[in-house]
Structure 1
Amino acid sequence: MPEIQVLPKDIAELIAAGEVIERPASVLKELTENAIDSGATRITAELKRGGVLFLRVTDDGCGIAPEQVKTAFLRHATSKIRAKEDLESIFTLGFRGEALASICAVSKTEVLTRQKDAELGTHYVIEGGEEAVFEQSGCPEGTTVIVRDLFYNVPVRAGFLKKDTAEGNAAAAIFQKIAISHPEISFRLIRENRTEFVTPGDGKLFSAIHAIYGKDFTRDLLPVQYAEAAQNGISVTGYIMKPLYARPNRSHQLFFVNGRSVRSFTLINAIEEAYQTLIMTGKYPVCVLCVQIPPRIVDVNMHPTKAEVRFSDEKRVYNAVYFAVLSALRQHHLVYEFQMPQQEITPEHILPEKPQRDWFAPVAGTDSNTPAAPLFAKPQEMPQQPASPAMPAQTAPASVQTVPAPSFSYRAAVNPAPFAAEPSAPAVPQMPVPAPPASDVPPPVSVRDVLPPPPQSELLSAFPELMRQPAAPPPSAPLPDEPSARNDAISEIQRAEIKVLGELFDNYVLAEAGDQFVMIDKHAAHERILFERFRRRECRDRQALLSPVKVLLTEDELTALEEHTELLGNCGFTFEFDEKPIAKLTGVPLSCADLDLDALAAELAEGCRLDRAEPDRHLLDDKFHDLACKAAIRAGTHNTREELQVLAEEVWEREEIRHCPHGRPVMFLLSKYYIERQFKRIQD
């Protein structure tokens, strides 16, 4: 058996560092969290070559005392906890004391730090875990940590790093999340000597999101505000995005638990469940949610990088996030504006294109279909007109104008020797042009006749009442970008009555409401209306079948259908079970009367069986999705103005009818402001 021995210090530190420091993003995360814990108000991160060659984090925090600088780089040295009871009430981002020791073990690390009341600071350099420089130095208040040549002494780990751009993007993503989680701190990111973003540090989450992701991202955010009734309970704040702008992946789902960016399937499942029937399949909601939880019910010590957390009461956390998101979706208007593209006017749009020569067209005479043109064209002779007997051609009176004969020239031949000389063209006689008679000469024109008439304002100056023009109404302004103000503006818009103007393509209802042009997808709207009736068990009309529809079911399906008889009855479906194992469908909602009732009964039985086996998944609602889609008004169906008015009013007044069950939008708005701007009635 091989001899068991204790590993040397340098090897043990390299192994331990591999658990915490995986790439430059890990270094940036640990250093930034230390800066936040130091009470900094401004933090700057600078990266070169993705952070592998150079990474610097500067803060204006409390700094480190000179006698504690060396201790800070020892493993398990921390100022965050003192006893094991402190693990139950951790409010800081770091607490293990492993970050600095792991960083200096695999890089060349330099520290400049000074406390606020100290005259001099401390300069400390440690390379590969070995001290190189320790001296006093002049430096600003706070701490600056510089990491160079990451993994220079671990070539195996360095070989697994990606390209500099990929590593820089990963580090920037980590820094963005930390900046959003602490809007009270101003963060600055510099990559390759170029500033990428700066957050204002005004304590507003919306300002931090706007500084990082821009105006287009924040325009369609909805605020979230939720808190449990109990004191020191769970609270959820932040923003979610309207369902129409869901993304194809979860990269923009940001969750922060007690100020720490985390990954949690509990939180992911809660928000995606709240978005059910609002987003399309394969899309994922966008959110920035900050969850404040009592430290005793959350464990942040289950992952080496503290990226994953575990809750002692997952159901409670799930419900808090679910109802917070659901409440935000119901309280705020899920109304969308037409996005008018701004086309950039370039000279190509104004100047006509120059004619382009077709270099592939056959030259005249080289194609069998193209006749060859003669090299020399003989000029055509102008016909001679006979002289008038009253006016000989040789003499021209004074009243006759003479027109000189046109001259013709030949193109000189390249080699004229083989060709005979062409005869000269005959002289063309002068053609007399008679002068106009005296009766056709216009009379003299007075200067008064060519002067412009006086302005109309002078003519109407004696009638001031005719000069008054009605004042043009001010154009309706576009909706604001701030979520709360935007929601208030939409609330004001929806106070107006909607009036149907017509129908487009037998599928889109065109209407107006105040200063808004409204377009409604009638199939999607009717589909959502029917689905809400099924889900709320509200049947407004039921039709009894003259001949019941019989369907053969399995024992499980028959049992489940009997258990759901009352529920289905509230939805408009009635069954009888006097011929088991055959179930008889005796009544359906009026909207489903034209469907395939045999298939409908079988699908309802299958949905009841699945719902009985897994009631938490609401699988019966999936059947109602399909049923509402089949029973809704079809595209291409012509409807009367009265029918469209009833549909438009129900859509306009009910907030839950904003998306079809498959996630497609139901209604769009186009303001009078944008219409007039397109017609150049309003100049930007």
Structure 2
Amino acid sequence: MSAIRLLPPELINQIAAGEVIERPSSVVKELVENSLDAGATRIEVDIEAGGARLIRVRDDGGGIHVDELPLAVASHATSKIGSFDDLEHVASMGFRGEALASVSSVSRFALTSRVRGQDAAFRVEVDGGKLQAARPAQHPPGTSVEVRDLFHNVPARRKFMRAERTEFAHIDDLLKSLALARSAVEFRLSHNGKPVRIWKVARDEQAALQRVAEVLGAEFPAQSLRIDHAAAGLHLSGWVGLPTASRAQADSQYFYVNGRLVRDRIVAHAVRQAYADVLFHGRHAAFVLYLELDPAGVDVNVHPAKHEVRFREQRLVHDFLFRTLHEALAQTRAGQVVSQAQEAGGSLRMSGTSTPMPMPQAWSARADQSRLSLGVRDEPLADYAALLGESPRTSPLAEAEAEPGEAPPLGFAIAQLKSIYVLAENAHGLILVDMHAAHERITYEKLKSGRSGSNLRSQMLLVPLSIAVSAKEAAAAEEYAEALAGWGLELSRSGPASIVVRRIPALLEGADVAQLSRDVLSELAQHGSSRRLQELENGLLSTMACHGSVRAGRRLSIPEMNALLREMEATERSGQCNHGRPTWVQLSVAELDKLFMRGR
């Protein structure tokens, strides 16, 4: 090996540029975030040739004093932190002070700025790593940064740039995410001299939702829940899409921590678990969520491009996110979107701790007076009743006939189609219900409610099972032994990397005990919590509910159909079956008129 020597500053900056600047969109990110930190309320981004020829970012922020312009393009010079304490409480988008130095080392760079209250602006240029002296220039209060011929002196990096359309698409996506983060800032984007995007300042919640609709699609507001919940020093707000508005790809997921867009495995795991019971297999939820917490509770200095963060209380954040979203989704019921979202002209609102929605007395009066059975009987239901120490029974549905006055959200039944679908009329038009999927969700929720009782049984293994695990998983078994025992899984640490299983939940008899234990401990070791046991039990209960629900081909009377509708309105998550498929569809009178070309 050759002798150790110091690297020249130009090479140091180019190495730093390789960490921070992946493509033109990375440059735009650094420059726009600097504008936001400068207090800008209007940011214009001009792009040429997908960013390869020109990237110009102009803002109306506080500006940079002429004496500080050379420092602005120096390595690790910043006005945002000055001590270790500042680093632990970072509230700005940028803080390392390496962005402009890195960008200027791989481009032809110019910085023009004017401080508010000063008569003149000043401009500095950097070419080939050489800084020229500041000179007067014309510029309104604020700052403009021009980056020309990106990677002109690093041909190898330039070869990795994609087509112009692809690079601009990345810039467009980046500006969308920043526009969602800062609704009080106006953003303008142009490409090759042509305006592409204009996001006006959103001064109220409705305007902010309109900006969300411009990014996620015009249909998102009517198919989303408004979240606004605070607890334990955490505040979560934003919008989450309904399960029926899921997407094939995870391309509409925006999560912000103190205004910073992040991709975090703790967050992803919590959201995935919250949707686990209502999302169709292979589908992805759409959401725009903002998490606010004390800056000291999150470390943003873990990734060169600041894409990732690390929470100091990971389990607290995970459980807060999961419970908030889980409770919000649990309170969605069939007919709720029609009765609330359409009338409000926007998304459903779930604030604070959600509470069950009671069935109006006029609709439930008959349900209290009599019970009507669909005659559903199946052995799995009887087996489950035995596990809970109850006597087998049929699955009842409450009889509910039409009452005078306002129609309920799902209306009143008028017919049955092909012994599969229930047709009902409500105030908005026609309702179509898949009777098996709807009754399956109703039965499933009742089985889960029964499981939550204290009389859930567990089963002792005839021979305790010894399992080899990792040292981290063995430590998790020791730490969470009491919590696992509450779920009926009794295991203990028997060595540095081994455990012994003595008892399992009775519902999971016949399961692969070794694999089950490893899965549970792996999640506990990684996330500090696990729902693997509950997910397996839910899968079994879902199968029972499917067998114990009214099947296609069964003729129902009008009272039975009305009873099904009333149960749907009172049951959590009844908008989807256990597998995430929709249970009902609304066709408005306007949509029906359009089918028959009425009014044309």
Q: Which bin holds the TM-score, normalised by the shorter protein?
A: 0.7 to 0.9
Rounded Cα–Cα distance in structure 1 between residues aligned with 2:342 and 2:439: 29
- The answer as to whether partners of 1:199 and 1:207 remain within 8 angstroms in 2 is no
Give the 3 Å change call, closer, same or farther, for CA 609–646 of structure 1 in structure 2: farther
Kindly provide the CA deviation profile for residues 493-526 of structure 1, in whole angstroms up to 9, marking residues without a partner as x.
Answer: 8745732111112110111223432111011011
- Secondary structure of the structure 2 residue equivalent to 1:606: coil
Q: State the match for 1:409 in structure 2.
A: none
Aligned length: 491
Once the 2 structures are TM-superposed, how far is the Cα of residue 119 of structure 1 from its aligned partner?
1.0
> What are the ranges of 5 or more consecutive residues in structure 2 without an aligned counterpart?
352-358, 361-405, 453-460, 466-483, 489-505, 521-529
Q: Deviations over 1:114-167 (max 9, x none)?
A: 111111101221112212463101111111111110000001111111212111
Question: Does residue 1:659 correspond to 2:576, yes or no?
Answer: yes
- Aligned counterpart in structure 2 of residue 616 of structure 1, from 524, 531, 535: 531
CA distance in 2, matches of 1:263, 1:602: 36
Residue 256 of structure 2: SS of its match in structure 1? strand
**Cα distance in 1 for residues equivalent to 2:181 and 2:17:** 26
Query: Cα gap change, 1:497/1:138 in structure 2, threshold over 3 Å: closer, same or farther?
Result: closer
Cα deviations across residues 185-208 of structure 1 (Å, max 9, x unaligned)? 111111233322222212443132
Q: Which amino acid aligns with 1:507?
A: I
Letter paired with 1:499: F
Contact (CA 8 Å) 2:227, 2:350: kept in 1 or not?
Answer: no
> Alpha carbons of 1:65 and 1:197: their partners in 2 closer, same or farther (altered >3 Å)?
same
Quickly say closer, same or farther: Cα 1:187–1:145, change in 2 above 3 A.
same
C-alpha deviation, 1:209, in angstroms: 1.1
Deviations 1:459-497 (A, max 9, x none): xxxxxxxxxxxxxxxxxx97564215999xxx9987457
2:176 is aligned with what amino acid?
A: Q
- Is 1:640 the counterpart of 2:557? The answer is yes
Question: Distance between the aligned counterparts of 1:479 and 1:603, measured in 2?
Answer: 45
> Counterpart of 1:180 in 2: which secondary structure?
helix
Matches within 5 A, 1:456-475: none
Distance 1:67 1:143 in 2: 15
Question: Matched residue of 1:215: which SS?
Answer: coil
Go from structure 1 to structure 2 and tell me whether the alpha carbon gap of 1:664 and 1:181 turns closer, same or farther (over 3 Å shift): same
Structure showing greater Rg: 1
1:99-248 matches, cutoff 5 A: 99-132=99-132, 134-203=134-203, 204=205, 205-228=208-231, 230=232, 233-248=233-248
Range 168-177 or range 20-29, more displaced: 168-177
Compute the displacement of 1:72 (Å): 0.5
1:631 paired residue among 548, 554, 565: 548
Summarize deviations over 1:249-298 as a string: whole Å, max 9, x none: 22211110000011101111111111112111111111111001111111
Q: Report deviation, 1:607.
A: 8.1
Structure 1 letter corresponding to 2:546: C
3-state SS, counterpart of residue 173 of structure 2? helix
Q: Which amino acid aligns with 2:578?
A: P
- 1:532 deviates by 1.0
* Cα deviation digits, residues 528-554 of structure 1 (max 9, x gap): 112112211179xxxxxxxxxxxxx97
How far is the alpha carbon of 1:3 from its aligned partner? Answer: 2.0
User: Whole-Å Cα distance in 2 between the matches of residues 629 and 252 of structure 1?
Assistant: 32
In terms of mean alpha carbon deviation, does 492-501 or 13-22 score higher?
A: 492-501
1:569-623 Cα distance to aligned partner (Å, 9 max, x none): xxxxxxxxxxxxxxxxxxxxxxxxxxxxxxxx99754288876773631211111
SS in 1 for 2:134: strand
Equivalents in 1 of 2:433, 2:200: separation in Å?
A: 40
| Partner Cα distance (2:164, 2:254) in 1 | 25
In 1, are the aligned partners of 2:227 and 2:349 still within 8 Å (CA)?
Answer: no
Q: 1:524 to 1:567 in 2, by over 3 A?
A: farther
1:498, 1:652 within 8 Å by CA — same for their partners in 2?
no
- The answer on whether the counterparts of 2:247 and 2:283 sit within 8 Å (CA) in structure 1 is yes
Per-residue displacement from partner, 1:219-259 (whole Å, max 9, x unpaired)? 3121111101x5xx110001011101211222211110000
**Which letter maps to 2:558?**
R
SS in 2 for 1:633: coil
Quick check: 1:606 aligned with 2:519?
no
The correspondence for 2:447, drawn from 521, 534, 538, is 534
Cα deviation 1:39-63 (Å, max 9, x = unaligned): 1000111111111111111100011
User: Is the CA contact (8 Å cut-off) linking 1:337 and 1:670 kept in structure 2?
Assistant: no
Partner of 2:290: 290
Cα distance between partner residues in 1 of 2:177 and 2:275: 23
Identity %: 32
Within 5 Å, give how 1:315-464 maps onto structure 2.
Answer: 315-333=315-333, 335=335
Which ranges of structure 1 fall in alignment gaps of 5 or more residues?
339-476, 540-552, 558-563, 569-600
Determine helix, strand or coil for the equivalent of 1:536. Answer: helix
- How far does residue 68 in structure 1 lie from its aligned partner after superposition? 0.8
Match of 2:253 in 1: 253
Distance 1:535 1:52, change over 3 A: same
Check if 1:506 corresponds to 2:509.
no
CA separation in 1, counterparts of 2:212 and 2:280?
25
Q: Give the Cα separation in 1 of the matches to 2:446 and 2:517.
A: 21
Distance change in 2, residues 1:523/1:93 (3 Å): same
Kindly provide the amino acid, as one letter, of the partner of residue 427 in structure 2. G
SS at match of 1:219: helix
Which secondary structure state, in structure 1, belongs to the residue aligned with residue 220 of structure 2?
helix
Letter in 1 for 2:284: Y
Instruction: State the alpha-carbon separation in 2 of the partners of residues 604 and 197 from structure 1.
Output: 58
Cα distance, 1:654 vs. partner?
A: 2.6
Give the whole-Å Cα distance in 2 for the aligned partners of 1:608 and 1:8: 59
State whether structure 2 residue 282 is matched by structure 1 residue 307.
no
- 1:670 is aligned, of 547, 570, 587, to 587
Return the structure number with greater relative CO, CA threshold 8 A, min gap 6.
Answer: 2
**Partners in 1 of 2:407 and 2:52 — Cα distance?**
55
Q: 1:478 to 1:238 in 2, by over 3 A?
A: closer
Q: Quick check: 1:336–1:667 contact (8 Å CA) kept in 2?
A: no
Q: Helix, strand or coil: the match of 1:57? A: strand
Alignment of 1:588-607 (within 5 A): 604-606=509-511
Query: Are 1:225 and 1:324, in contact at CA under 8 Å, matched by a contact in 2?
Result: no
Contact 2:439 2:564 in 1 (8 A): yes
CA contact (8 A) 1:62 1:116 kept: yes
Measured in 1, the distance between the counterparts of 2:149 and 2:557 equals: 74
Check 1:513–1:104 CA distance in 2 against 1; reply closer, same or farther (3 A cut). same
- Aligned twin of 1:461: none
Q: How far has the Cα of 1:660 moved from its partner? A: 0.6
Establish whether residue 482 from structure 1 lines up as the match of residue 346 from structure 2. Answer: yes
Q: How far is 1:30 from its partner?
A: 0.3
Q: Secondary structure at the match of 1:520?
A: strand
The ranges of structure 1 where at least 4 consecutive aligned residues each deviate by more than 6 angstroms after the TM superposition are 491-494, 607-613
Verify the 8 A CA contact 2:228 2:350 in the aligned structure 1. Answer: no
* Aligned 8 A contact 2:54 2:149 in 1: yes
Q: Distance in 1 between matches of 2:509 and 2:543?
A: 11
SS in 2 for 1:537: helix
How far residue 648 of structure 1 moved from its aligned partner, in angstroms, is 2.1
How far 1:629 moved relative to its partner?
2.0
CA change 1:525–1:71 in 2 (3 A) is same
Q: Secondary structure at the match of 1:307?
A: coil
User: Structure 1 pair 259/337, CA: closer, same or farther in 2 (3 Å)?
Assistant: closer
TM-score, L = length of structure 2: 0.75
Distance 1:245-1:6 versus aligned 2 partners, 3 A rule: same
